[in-house]
Amino acid sequence: MTITLSIPPVPADWACHTTTSAPGKHAALLDPVAPTPEVIGPVVRNLIAHYRADAERLPASSRGDVDLRRIEAMLAVDQERHPGRPLAAERGIATRLQGCCRDHTLLAVSILRHRGVPARSRVGLADYLVPAWHIGHVVAELHDGERWRRFDAGLDPRTGPLPDPTDLETGPGAGFTTAAEAYRALRAGTLDPSTCGTGPGSPLRGEHFVQSGIFWEIAHRYGDETLLWDVWGAMTPPDEPMGEELLGVLDEVAEQLVTADEGDLEAERSLFERYVRDDRLHPGGAVLCISPVGDGPVRVALGDEA
């Protein structure tokens, strides 16, 4: 594990950095950034361009940025390109880091944790990015002392599809659905899997994509903020179905995730303990990285990666 949590975990636990979110020697760069979604969003978008949405304006030479796992490594690359420049100083899009929603969110979470604010990333599906499509997505969540507040750091409220991406709705009908909520809808027959994935025409879509979301969601919740193309434990590659026995496990995990989100501390305790002890669910020491910019699956030892 990369984070020490209480049993059951409480919001204060998520104020601590994970190995992935820690800025390391670049921590001072985060000092000027106020720990609010309204300030964090523009900084995140200034540093990280989306490797697919902005592909036509990004150079091939920096495509490998998308496989950077740790904030410390991301900030190191940014400073190589912009020596000594504060994070709020404008970067030309061609010199920004290439990343995705996972990276926007992780940087937002890092800034919040740096200032002692409980924060975590949430994996699921967004309905507001492409019409009639459930896009695999990651958003940030902070605890304001009373509730968990979700926000989408990658969206500009001036030009994006949401008038206020700094405080997302939750529950039935919300634009962002957690992976657990989506999985339960899939199992109930109320979610069409053919409309779920990384986008229309993408091979990463369908039932397997929704099922895989449970692994990414529980890992991110408990401090293993993996890439969205990592495979581990009982996960199968996109071209291999998950068996009924495993789906039964995912049924139980999805139920616990939803119940924990409702504030049930016993569900949170049970889910965390299950995650820690069940090798099918957590990454352990290595993952299989199926990078969208790589030549093929690569086994990555998590203690050695950037």
Hey, where are the domains in the chain?
Answer: 11-301
Chain centre to alpha carbon of residue 158: 23
pLDDT score for 306: 60
238: left (phi > 0), else alpha (psi -120 to 50), else beta? alpha
Mean pLDDT, range 144-165, rounded to an integer: 94
User: Which pLDDT tens digit goes with each residue over 254-283?
Assistant: 999 999 999 999 999 999 999 999 999 999
The fraction of the chain above a pLDDT of 90, given in percent, is: 89
pLDDT range class, residue 202, cuts 50, 70, 90: confident
42-53 pLDDT, tens digit each: 999 999 999 999
1, pLDDT greater than 60: no
Under 8 Å between Cβ of 21 and 225: yes
Q: Which amino acid is at 206?
A: G
- The residue with tokens 């740790």 is 70
Using an 8 Å Cβ cutoff, are 151 and 167 in contact?
yes
